[in-house]
Structure 1
């Protein structure tokens, strides 16, 4: 997966379950089109103009960026902030989903974004009555071919759960997050601060079933291959990820994103996902924006708890979102995480 992989349509179709629909976007000049691909479905439809989506996405990013303001402001204006964010999620729904919404009969949707759409939280898009995640389970993929490859990829079905946490003054809640998930993950092996080193990841990662890394990321828009995630004693670059062997069932990075206030086309996110998938991970949970507070700890505790109850990854992530939304109604807190790969 270090270089683009293209599989024939028939090969991709054999990997798609009956209750799943791939929703893949692509662009022709300024026009955005969508390909709906299922076991027995193949349709290509015009959707909207990229310039329109770019404007609505900037408005959503602006609303999400308000969570960097004073906590008292957020508490005082919580209801109006939720309404404003839902209005922008409705605008994006009307542009990106409404033109073919009646065709979305599948229980599970796999979104394959393109360009700036890599920063669109499709699972949180709002039709005026419900978010997409209320009606479907949702996952993502860098491409239809990578989705198909992940469905047949073997991964560790047993082994320890490796948890690495690198707290700092900007993200003090990482310690709370690590302590929360160690109580629900099977066979947890936890390393904090300087102990959460690259050597630990290289030595213990290949035999782990789950890997969870709570940290910050540094992204190089000018050269995505030198984007990196912070470990206890070093930075692990995207180039380094390509050299790792991590055949895990699930790898979660709860703090690696550029944040929606950064103007980028999504290539860094694609690169990070490709690097982790190239290392052998069957599935990934990544964040579209940074949320390092108590909501993240509760989110991850709920997610892994539902996973241990036997739910699929997509079902567990959906249940965690709905659980968190009851206490944290703003999408900034309940909708930052996406599932990539096998659902």
Structure 2
């Protein structure tokens, strides 16, 4: 697990950025010397008590594993570089070389000090470290870690990647592929879309049909049947372990600005909580939602904590993980991505994070005619919560 923490220091009379990065390795990993260690972790570095405020010496071994720590003053503005990279990723016409240059700066600060400990140079299939789980702070929260670049390859080319909102994870049990049961819902041109000035999603039907072909046990609520009451009723009567909603939506750290659209109207954050939570608490424990997929939704523009709003939806719904996009992606591209994702997910030896990685790599290596290879098309898909 990787915890980059960004701090601002004005004690010298001008603002400097101090980046603390903590790496937690499994207990069996050997400790090597980490570059530029510099003492204790500042109290309150991560809000809400997600890490202890006392000093963590470099190389400390705990029951949870090995903690390695690097502290560095950053000459360039991390916030500015993160914002520039995010803006570059959202614009399809941005030259890929510019994206790689910006992504290399962040890689140098966050990953490069730990390359030896993370087996970066080793064969992925021969390394015990195949997945990186990030706890992200400040301007890094809405940035896809998959796009970080070491000058030769993207981070996703070496690791599967997931995000968690804090050190205390939801119960991380593997998804049971043999009992995969999906509730699919979505709309192409709902009245609720035009009511708030949003366009049609012309490929939603193809997306849901493609997924239901891959997983025949799926149930589909499409267009006029895609209503909050129907979703809630289906969840009450059938123990679905995956819920996939293909519709417009917005996720913010402010619950009042968080919503998705059914056929008729917006569904607020509070209404989503009620809709996704079944009334029988025992069944919710025995048959939780393993994966909540929010296709075609996006995080709120300018809200550095928007991804936390997305994570909050999953946690309150009892969903072990959520797959969503950090910004809106081309409709046809999203459809292709989601269909491929479920094709990978049906493999019993593939984790959710691995399934996501494999589809991102298939896009990255796609021919240039489709434009799937551009980071704008594959980077925004983010897994929050359990990666198993």
**Residue 77 (structure 2) pairs with residue 52 (structure 1):** yes
What's the counterpart of residue 4 of structure 1?
A: none
What's the counterpart of residue 233 of structure 1?
A: 264
**TM-score of the two chains, using structure 1 as the length reference:** 0.81
Q: Distance in 2 between matches of 1:285 and 1:89?
A: 22
Kept in 1, the 8 Å contact 2:180–2:215? The answer is no
Q: What's the offset of the Cα at 1:187?
A: 0.8
**Residue 68 (structure 2) pairs with residue 36 (structure 1):** no
Query: For the structure 1 residues 200 and 32, does the alpha-carbon distance in structure 2 shift closer, same or farther, using more than 3 Å as the test?
Result: farther
Q: Distance in 2 between matches of 1:289 and 1:50?
A: 29
What secondary structure sits across from 2:330 in the alignment?
Answer: coil
**TM-score of the two chains, using structure 2 as the length reference:** 0.72
**Residue 295 (structure 2) pairs with residue 254 (structure 1):** yes
Query: For the structure 1 residues 127 and 156, does the alpha-carbon distance in structure 2 shift closer, same or farther, using more than 3 Å as the test?
Result: closer
Q: Distance in 1 between matches of 2:263 and 2:315?
A: 22
Query: For the structure 1 residues 329 and 132, does the alpha-carbon distance in structure 2 shift closer, same or farther, using more than 3 Å as the test?
Result: same
Query: For the structure 1 residues 50 and 239, does the alpha-carbon distance in structure 2 shift closer, same or farther, using more than 3 Å as the test?
Result: farther
Query: Structure 2: which 5+ runs fail to align?
Result: 9-16, 28-65, 120-128, 190-198, 279-287, 367-371
Q: Distance in 2 between matches of 1:101 and 1:287?
A: 28
Kept in 1, the 8 Å contact 2:4–2:110? The answer is no
Q: Distance in 1 between matches of 2:269 and 2:341?
A: 26
Q: CA RMSD in A?
A: 2.5
Aligned counterparts, 1:1-343, within 5 A: 22-29=1-8, 30-40=17-27, 41-47=66-72, 49=74, 52-67=77-92, 74=93, 81-105=95-119, 106-145=129-168, 147=169, 149-151=170-172, 158=179, 160-168=181-189, 169-206=199-236, 207-219=239-251, 223-243=254-274, 244-245=276-277, 247-258=288-299, 262-265=301-304, 267-310=305-348, 311-327=350-366, 328-343=372-387
Q: Distance in 2 between matches of 1:201 and 1:186?
A: 18
Q: What's the offset of the Cα at 1:96?
A: 2.4
What's the counterpart of residue 11 of structure 1?
A: none
Query: Structure 1: which 5+ runs fail to align?
Result: 1-21, 68-73, 75-79
Rg comparison, structure with higher value: 2
Q: Distance in 2 between matches of 1:186 and 1:102?
A: 44
What's the counterpart of residue 30 of structure 2?
A: none
Q: What's the offset of the Cα at 1:285?
A: 0.7
Kept in 1, the 8 Å contact 2:214–2:342? The answer is yes
Give the structure, 1 or 2, with the largest relative contact order (CA under 8 Å, sep 6 or more). Answer: 1
Kept in 1, the 8 Å contact 2:251–2:310? The answer is no
Q: What's the offset of the Cα at 1:283?
A: 1.6
Q: Distance in 1 between matches of 2:69 and 2:270?
A: 35
Q: Distance in 1 between matches of 2:331 and 2:78?
A: 30
Q: Distance in 2 between matches of 1:315 and 1:117?
A: 22
